[in-house]
Structure 1
Amino acid sequence: MDFDEYVAARGQALERFAYVLTGDAHRAQDLTQTALLKAYRHWRRVTAAEHPDAYVRRIVTRSYVDWRRRGSSREEPVDVVPDLPEEGASADPAERVAARDELRRALVTLSPKQRAVLVLRDYEGYDDAAIAATLDCAEASVRSHASRGLARLRAVLSEPTVPEELR
């Protein structure tokens, strides 16, 4: 498969994956473009890999972690989260929007590695060994990041969002 065919076939899936990592559509597009540029530069190596798609997702994940580590932009845009289908969603669209916003705000509090681990585990379905290979760290580190990330999410999501004087 040549590069153009790959992008046509997998580009949208990569962008959705990047969106889950970044939480922002524009940053997801930038991250996807950055990763595809890196993949294009080394396309022979990508196509020679046993699983080219996993290779490119690894580039996306590492680019995300590197981008967050550099801290080139601490700006957190506030825009409308696109409607995503949810199982067991309430009938009131405002409740769904509020729940998504609460989760998005909670995810922002995680470190880049914690967020990457949770996205790879829960969104992509990777096991600890695959996550460790993707992030180039030990499986114990993956479990530690997952544990701390989930604990942080639980703590943030359990905090009351309405000031006490307004209840």
Structure 2
Amino acid sequence: MELDTTLTFEEWVASRVSALLRFAWLVTGSQHEAEDALQTALAKACADWDRIGGRDEVDAYVRRMIANAHVSAWRRFGRWQSPAADVRAPGATAIAGVDAGVVERDLVWRVCSTLPRQQRAAVVLRYYEDYDTAEIARILDCAEATVRSHLHRALARLRSELERGGDDG
């Protein structure tokens, strides 16, 4: 998104908050964590708006801030959290009245949410946000080869888990 340098921070946020929250949710896998990461990133962006507001790629810059905020929060608090197992009946693959495509997308997202954070971020940026490897590398602050490695490993794990999950149901 090309930035109009006459936009105030509040105007920019109003026009981008939905997309940024969606991105944060895809990276974190949790509405609560997404809101926290977005709030942290926007607070920093607001404080630095005079410096970053004129950049061509403000969206990419703030997305990286969101990813960094999430990783930082996980480093601080992640070791104290014990996620509960998914509460579903064993072998349950369909819900009455729900389209099979919705169930499949839910399964894909549940498997995606088990990926390591950098792999999940790479998958989200590539397949949900449609960035190329150079843009992903810039956002995640790593080499393009690392992005390709993250994507390769993530897709291999997704295939394996989905094939295994398909045989169980």
TM-score by length of 2: 0.78
AA aligned opposite 1:151: A
Partner of 1:98: 103
Partner of 1:53: 59
Give the C-alpha shift of residue 162 in structure 1. 7.3
Unmatched segments (≥5 aa) in structure 2: 1-6, 87-95
Query: Distance in 1 between the 2:132 and 2:100 partners?
Result: 32
Q: Which moved more, 1:39-48 or 1:140-149?
A: 39-48
Unmatched segments (≥5 aa) in structure 1: 80-90
Q: CA distance change for structure 1 residues 154 and 94 in 2, over 3 Å: closer, same or farther?
A: same
Query: Distance in 1 between the 2:79 and 2:41 partners?
Result: 17
Give the C-alpha shift of residue 100 in structure 1. 3.3
AA aligned opposite 1:122: Y
Partner of 2:41: 35
TM-score by length of 1: 0.79
Runs of 4+ in 1 over 4 A off after TM superposition: none
Query: Distance in 2 between the 1:75 and 1:97 partners?
Result: 28
Partner of 1:144: 149
Query: Distance in 1 between the 2:11 and 2:79 partners?
Result: 32
Is 2:91 the partner of 1:74?
no
Query: Distance in 1 between the 2:39 and 2:135 partners?
Result: 23
Q: Counterpart of 1:19 in 2: which secondary structure?
A: helix
Equivalent residue runs for 1:119-158 within 5 Å: 119-158=124-163
Work out the percentage of aligned pairs sharing the same amino acid.
46
User: Quick one: which of 18, 33, 57 aligns to 2:24?
Assistant: 18
